A and B are shown apart, each in its own frame.
Chain A
Amino acid sequence: NAGVTQTPKFQVLKTGQSMTLQCAQDMNHNSMYWYRQDPGMGLRLIYYSASEGTTDKGEVPNGYNVSRLNKREFSLRLESAAPSQTSVYFCASSGTGVIDTQYFGPGTRLTVL
């Protein structure tokens, strides 16, 4: 099992450009999440999907959109990138059992110039 995979690993954008971060999991998990991590700010939830077909805003959703393409895949889109979106982005997934353990992907390091 690959677990949670993310593409790309690194990306540099210019202000105003758009891009989509891809995430896939092979653990048959129902729930998936997108976080950003900035120095001194910790992990902050952008969007999550409790199950296939549903998405909800997290703590910092502005400037982002998401798509739960199917049970395996959850993408994050930046429509018009801004320097404030320079960050490391992590995707995570979890099952729906009593234990809410989240498993993280390797991350995407995004720089917006």
Chain B
Amino acid sequence: QKEVEQNSGPLSVPEGAIASLNCTYSDRGSQSFFWYRQYSGKSPELIMSIYSNGDKEDGRFTAQLNKASQYVSLLIRDSQPSDSATYLCAVTRRGGYSTLTFGKGTMLLVSP
């Protein structure tokens, strides 16, 4: 069974700090990786996608992928109170048709 594991948190960081969110996955065939942000009472929204080993940066966000270790992370630099949300990791195989497997999410709290 494909599994995606995340620490449920909450992860508490002060404003301006770097928040580091981690995710591990069990399916070695996984090739596409996504980070979604979900505010309380709202639907998930895509923040980042990553497909190759290494880092991918987009503004204050950096996704890191290590397929050998089956590990993907999201770094949020200069964290803001508005970043307080639950972050969902999702993975899928690539090629043909496949569905996303989501982790249960990590709650991030950024204090002013």
Binding site for B on A (CB under 8 A): 31, 33, 40-45, 48, 50, 58, 90, 96, 98-107
Contact A42 B103 (CB under 8 A): yes
Interface string of B31-55 (1 = CB under 8 A from A): 0101000000011111001000000
Chain B residues positioned under 8 Å from A90 (CB to CB)? 43-44
Q: Check A43–B45 contact: CB distance below 8 A.
A: no
CB < 8 Å: which of B32, B43, B88 contacts A99?
Answer: B32
Given contacts A31-B97, A99-B32, whether A43 and B44 have CB atoms under 8 Å apart is: yes
B44 contacts A48, C-beta separation under 8 Å: no
Query: In the assembly, what is the distance between CA of A31 and CA of B8, in Å?
Result: 29
In the complex, the answer to whether B103 meets A106 with C-beta atoms within 8 Å is no
Number of contacts between A and B (CB, 8 Å)?
A: 45
Q: How far is the CB of A98 from chain B (nearest CB, A)?
A: 7
Residues of B within 8 A of A107 (CB): 42-43
A63 CB to nearest B CB, Å: 19
Across the interface, name the chain A residue whose C-beta is closest to B103: A42
The winner among A41, A58, A102, A107 for most chain B CB atoms within 10 A is A102
